Amino acid sequence: MEKKGEKDNIQKVKQMQRICRLHYIQDEASRKQELKVEHNHNQSECGMIDQSEQGMIDCPLLKPLSKGYNEQDLQEISWILSSSDNWCTMREALEKCTVHFTPELVVEMLHNCCIHGNAALHFFSWVGLQTGYRHTTETYNMAMKISGRGKDFKHMRSLFYEMRRKGCLITPDTWAIMIMQYGRTGLTEIALKIFNEMKDNGYNPTGSTYKYLIISLCGRKGRKIDEAIKIFQEMIRAGHIPDREVVESYLCCLCEAGKLSEARRSVDSLCKAGFTIPLSYSLHIRALCRAGRLEEALSLLDEVGAERSTLDQYTYGTIVHGLLRKGRQEEALAKVDSMKQTGIQPTVHVYTSLIVHFFKEKQMEKAIKFFKKMQEEGCKPTIVTYSALIRGYMNMGRVGDAWNVFNHMKLEGPAPDFKTYSMFISCLCRAGKSEEALQLITQMLDERIVPSTINFRTVFFGLNREGKHDLAQTVLKQKLALRSKRKFLT
């Protein structure tokens, strides 16, 4: 066809190829989701899912909508938006289709295309102009979230103004989305301004609003401890009970900053708000251990009277982890044995801490021994456990074994997440295997996991160090291509 100059037919064939590829990706995604659901179900049966880890999932802040759309319509629009990198071509196809657009369909479409913000936001703008269709609060909220995820804050704010100009209902969740998106990138000064603007406009902050602002203020980037204390106290006074994720983030921040008396006062206020003493103290002890304040944690443990046995069960893994971090191996192993004598078997947290410790001490055989033992006892490894194995093998120069663990995760689950990919990329680049790290960038994109600027930078510098300058340039091109896909560029 190229020889005959049949350009139109060539384009049709290419479009059919893309559609077939999309079918394959959707089938694969469906299969992986089924595996993931089954895996999570098995974990929950074993009592292994930590509720605090579940709380770390990025809450969409969008209320579930009734399924007011046809699944075939959703697939047709998905095909169109994936059939080309050119918006004009996509728009022509959209104008020819006979799909009946509803807010529910648009929200689902935006959700599915969130990694490709450019196409999703162009689609959002186009569908808003169609006869008989009107955007809702939910569609605007989803579009704003996509803009924020792509760090396109200017467009996120313009959507907010457009929403208000067109008389669309602005809810506390709308404000919370802006606060969350600014805060997660460390722009906490702007997040605070949005929070105050929200109150000035007569909106009462919800539990979600307080949650995402406090977590942002306590984060590594843009940390503002005094403001976090003020907002946390305001949240309690307003009658909102913070969830475990907020409390852990807040207490860790206070303990790391050395504000121990404030942490203690906060724990007392949680007990008054309805938290049980074992739960409140266990969160405080965990925060102290994470901040490297083991002695203070052990001292707090000794203060508890009648509920000490319950608290021991809550804090068992945290104390073992804290002892190992301080190099107090014998005390940690003694703690494990004492808990076994009371009928409490080591948890996945304890086993993972032991694996990390022995790899750090260059005692690979012992680390692998504990990994095998946990499996024999029916304790399923988590993503954190497998990541510890990968890091440990890489630090021992066992690159092949690290890849075997990683590939096992991809085939058998749990699937590698952003943290696993990032850690493995860094380890490979340090080991002079930057070309292999580049493969992971591609795999992340295939799995709809967005690589960070640091991921791209690590691989770019690694390839240049290894003299692979041409490949390093492809990394820059990948980064720019991803940026253009995620932002609303006119």
* Predicted TM-score (pTM) above 0.95: no
**How do residues 12-29 score in pLDDT, each as one tens digit?**
444 444 444 444 334 444
Residue 54 has pLDDT above 50, yes or no: no
DSSP codes, 144-189: HHHHHHTT-HHHHHHHHHHHHHTTPPP-HHHHHHHHHHHHHTT-HH
The pLDDT of residue 309 is 78
Residue 56 has pLDDT above 60, yes or no: no
**How do residues 138-172 score in pLDDT, each as one tens digit?**
999 999 999 999 899 999 999 999 999 999 999 99
**How do residues 256-305 score in pLDDT, each as one tens digit?**
999 999 999 999 999 888 898 889 999 999 999 999 999 999 999 888 77
User: Is residue 381 within 8 Å of 375, Cβ to Cβ?
Assistant: yes
- Per-residue pLDDT band for 9 (boundaries 50, 70, 90) equals low
Residue 338 has pLDDT above 60, yes or no: yes
- Per-residue pLDDT band for 205 (boundaries 50, 70, 90) equals very high
Residue 351 has pLDDT above 60, yes or no: yes
Q: If you average pLDDT over every residue of the chain, what do you get?
A: 86
**How do residues 83-108 score in pLDDT, each as one tens digit?**
887 889 999 999 999 999 999 999 99
The half-sphere exposure of 73 on its side-chain side, counting CA atoms within 13 A, is: 15
**Domain locations along the chain:** 262-344, 417-490
CA distance 467 to 283: 48
The pLDDT of residue 21 is 41
